[in-house]
Structure 1
Amino acid sequence: MRAWAWLALLVCGLCGGQRARADERDLYLLETPATYTDVADAADGRDPFDLNVRVLFRRLQDRADVRRERPSSTGRTELERVGAYRMVRHELQLGLDIGLFRDLELSVDLPLVLSDDRRLGLVDGALPAGLVQASPLVSPTRSGIDMLLLSVGWAPLNQYRDPHSPTWVFRLSSRIAVGEVRHPCVAGQSDCGVSDGTHALTFETRMSHRFRYAEPYGGAGFTAQFRGRAAGAFAPGGDLPGYRHVNPPLIGEFVAGMALIPWEHRGKWQRLTLDVRLNAQWVAQGRDYSPLFDALGTSMDPTLANPSCEGAPADALDCTGDPGGLRLVPFTGLTDVQAHGRLGGRVALELQAARFVRFGFGGAFFYTTPHQITGTDRCNGDAAPRDASDPRIAGCARGIVDPHYRVVLDTPGQRFSLGGQLRIDLFASMRAQF
């Protein structure tokens, strides 16, 4: 009778498949790392080719207080809350991962903006100077194709080939603006564009190593952004010598996280993963879109609605905009944005339901530190005048006037800032693996 009992237990164990257990001395794992360091490959023994088809839906929501400097009775500049900014954006992202060779992949992503709604509510219904007649302050709903993302990932080290090594990935990504470039709009208008029009190049390094039921990982990245198809908005009038900032900001990023695997069925290629991640970004000063882009770009305030002269000629008729003379510089809604940081976290639950299907859902929270969103210096000390009579000096002790400068936005005591921006990102994804 005892022999039959042992035989029954053995049969049940074999029928139950292979599961990862905490008391296993030698742990055999699924041969795929955490999603963060996973790379499709090809020409790999019995796996000649990998193809992943991805669909991601996400909802982004931003909230921030808009503040403005004002003089106080003590002579010091104080910040006054003048508005509340809110953005809600829905995206559907389609993606492909194509294995090119062993631990080498090409990724293609196409984000589709289903809706992008922005609102600027003013405190007590008052319109601060510079926003006069910038009505309404509800932007039209934008939608369409935003950008094309191309990425190449390579893993020179793979823990599942050499158990003593970590999984180490290098990734080079490019962001190419393909949609209609955004321009300032008022409610009721259409064809306002959805893309920033900027291109970007990102280099990342990522590393992970699995220890039984936990796979810690980390990474760092650097992004350089370029004006791209929005060059006319970043540098109206051309590349004038007085411009200090004509490109979007540079971005540095650090990531640290851990994938926890509480359950795994090797025989059926099933896995449940809890992915917890921390993220920190540093954004350098640069010319950029801000929450006031539509409000300022559609303002009828004379200092914003009318082009400004590149300098201060003795005769206003000398500012004709002709080549060789002083240029007329329109205001496009973009502003100089102060350097700032972003801190956040992300939690996701991933289910490998079968060998060819993976699901995921989760959310992320980001906080952007307070920073100025207008504040161009009147003079660019790094730009040299032609001679002492150069009208672009215009009273500058050193250098020449920056054509981006607008009195109503950039003068100390009138500059706008964000009091801290909160972003909530909710997402759900599905991936088919072939």
Structure 2
Amino acid sequence: MRCYVVASSFCASALGLLLASAPAQAAEFTDLLDAADDFDDFQEDTYDPFDFHIEPSFRFDISSAQITREAPCVPDLDRFADEPAVFNNPRVVEDEGRCSEPSMVFNREMLYEHTRSTMDVELRAGLYKDLELHLTVPYVINSARGLKYDNESNLPGQQVDETNSSVDPSNARVEQRAGQVFDDNMSIEEQLRAFDQYNVYRFFDLSDDHRQIERSGFADPTIGIAWAPFNDQRDDTKATLLFGMDYTMPIAPVKEADDKDVGEGKHVLHWKIASSKRFDWIEPYFGIEYFLPIAASDSPIRKVDSQNEGQVFTNPPMRGDVTIGTEFIPYQNDETGERYAIDLRFTMGYVSEGRDYTPLYDHMVNSDCNRKTVADVLPKFENGQLTNPEDVACAWIVQRPGNADPNPVYDLASMSQEDRQETLFRTDGIMTVEDYGTFAGQVGFYLQPSRYFQLNAIAQLKHRQEHFLTNARTGRDIDNDAEETDDDTVDLTGSDAQFERNPVYNPTYDSSGNRFRIQEYNTWSFIVNAALQF
């Protein structure tokens, strides 16, 4: 009887399990193995001394979404030209049809697609009566993330390419904007200050040969235990009630730039409580789950600077799910072990705010802008013409303090000439993600022709509500007694910036008016699971 859904292979492990040796069975959602079990009737033919399952599962996921970006909108540019969000901002939208007063709108930017094929092997053993131990080892056969210009609209003016993209603009746009902000008579300090007015960046390449980034390899394994104190198989006056806890171990290599690994560097604790009750040929069930991830010591999600108090989030988002469903059993033969069932399920979930991998991750860490210095991104002119537009378009990389290696740099102007030449800036690709809700529906078919073998097929559609992918706070004000400058604000420059500015905050994509948002985010999942039952 299955009790618990393991964190590293949620659907494939949770749905594909069945106990064949018992004369009656719980729903797949509440099924777990038992052992040393005589069902309290002391009959030799019902005695079950040992239960062990080997369960390989194949899962294929395909996700798609639209990624948009905030932009300030005004109905009349001349009337609001002095507004801070409008002044010298080439991303301002002037359109009475989109806003009747100054506000934020969302511009189309990219289309996202992700396909992932996974093979899981789960080992399950009954320990004693309604107590089960299980271990899942997942292997990612292929994970391919793709981003491209959102240019599939048939509406006039709705297509995105290098002429209007704020992610991968043309060199001509970079040169034009740089010519408006910089000139070849500026000192380095003046150029650094002028970056506050410059905002035409190339975050990564969206050309055809850079759309897909692939990964594969072993993912983090999960071990867990499940227990059912009440079981309607033993006492039909009670509903099955069970508890489970799993632990995902962050032992797989953590994915980074320039590798193909899939590990995420997270300790994940997963608790579940579920209940089901059989009524003739139907069995409704209900469950609550909670996932608590904790960043491992080698995770890029961890606290970046131990001396800094401005980093608001230092762990991945937490998650909670509520599941309701019903299993329909049109045929079951206790003597032969045959059983056929259909499962309909609906899950509602909530994901909290936190730092995490996002659909932008692979393209950010593999950006050509990684490993740039401040000297690289400063504009260089020859005869009044910008000579390094590719580098200037990467200036966003130096505006996040935590990108500096090995120690964060909170004030670029305070860097020595040597440090400007030698300190490399590189992004870890982790973003502060806004909280959001999830909704999922699925159907499963469980086919068990004998007591020793089962084959399951599951299809699921999951929708994530729209949310910001880049939502870091500017920082956090420290105790006034510890400040050199006594105030109640977050200091982004000056002596107190090293304590108060969030080292993972980047104004080029975290500030209001520049944030990226994901919407229409849907995932189809198809799972095939086999169970060899001993």
1:269 aligns with 2:337: yes
Letter in 2 for 1:101: Y
Equivalent residue number for residue 220 of structure 2: 147
Shift of 1:238: 4.7
State the aligned residue count: 396
| Residues 36/77 of structure 1: CA separation in 2 closer, same or farther (3 Å cut) | same
Residue 232 of structure 2 corresponds to which residue in structure 1? 159
**1:180 positional shift:** 1.6
Match of residue 4 from structure 1: none
Residue in structure 2 matching 1:402, options 493, 499, 502:
502
Code of the residue aligned with 2:273 in structure 1: it is T
2:396 partner SS: helix
Stretch of structure 1 that moved more, 250-259 or 173-182 = 173-182
In structure 2, the residue corresponding to 1:295 is in which secondary structure?
helix
Bigger CA drift: 404-413 or 327-336? 327-336
**What residue is the counterpart of 1:366 in the other structure?**
462
State which of 127, 132, 141 in structure 2 corresponds to 1:100.
Answer: 127
Runs (5+) with no aligned partner, structure 2: 1-21, 39-46, 76-101, 151-159, 168-200, 370-393
The 3 A distance-change label for structure 1 pair 94 and 226 is same
Q: Which of 149, 171, 176 is the aligned partner of 2:249?
A: 176
Aligned to 1:352: 448
Gaps of 5+ in 1: 1-28, 186-190, 322-326
Report the 3-state secondary structure (helix = DSSP H, G, I; strand = E; otherwise coil) of the residue aligned with 1:36: helix
Name the CA shift for 1:353/1:63 in 2 (closer, same or farther; >3 Å).
same
Deviations for 1:363-408, whole angstroms, at most 9, x for unmatched residues?
0000000000002111224676722349983369998211111121
In structure 2, distance between residues paired with 1:92 and 1:159? 33
**Corresponding residue number in structure 2 for 1:56:** 57
Looking at secondary structure, tell me which structure has more strand per residue. 1
Match of 1:7 in 2: none
Tell me the residue number matched to 1:89: 116
Please give the alpha-carbon distance, in whole angstroms, between the structure 2 residues aligned to 1:319 and 1:110: 48
TM-score where L is the length of structure 2: 0.69
| Cα-Cα RMSD | 2.8
2:414 corresponds to 1:315: yes
Superimposed CA distance per residue, residues 344-370 of structure 1 (whole angstroms, 9 cap, x where no aligned partner): 111000012111111100200000000
Q: Deviations over 1:263-305 (max 9, x none)?
A: 1222211111001110111000000001111222233222226
Which residue of structure 1 lines up, in the alignment, with residue 137 of structure 2?
110
2:491 aligned residue: 393
Look up the match of 2:522.
Answer: 422
Aligned counterparts, 1:6-405, within 5 A: 30-45=23-38, 46-74=47-75, 75-123=102-150, 124-126=160-162, 127-129=165-167, 130-134=201-205, 137-185=210-258, 191-238=259-306, 240-299=308-367, 300=369, 301-304=394-397, 307=403, 309-312=408-411, 315-317=414-416, 330-381=426-477, 386-389=482-485, 393-394=491-492, 400-405=500-505
Distance 2:297 2:280 in 1: 48
Tell me which moved more, 351-360 or 276-285: 351-360
Partner of 1:14: none
Deviations 1:125-147 (A, max 9, x none): 33424544446542432111001
Residues 385 and 358 (structure 1 numbering): CA distance in 2 closer, same or farther, change over 3 Å?
Answer: farther
Q: Which amino acid aligns with 1:261?
A: I
CA deviation profile, 1:202-259 (whole Å, cap 9, x unmatched): 1100100000010000100111101115434543345732211111001011010000
Instruction: Name the SS for the 2:520 alignment partner.
Output: strand
Alpha-carbon spacing, 1:193–1:317, altered in 2? closer, same or farther (3 Å): same
Aligned residues of 1:174 and 1:200 also touching (Cα < 8 A): yes
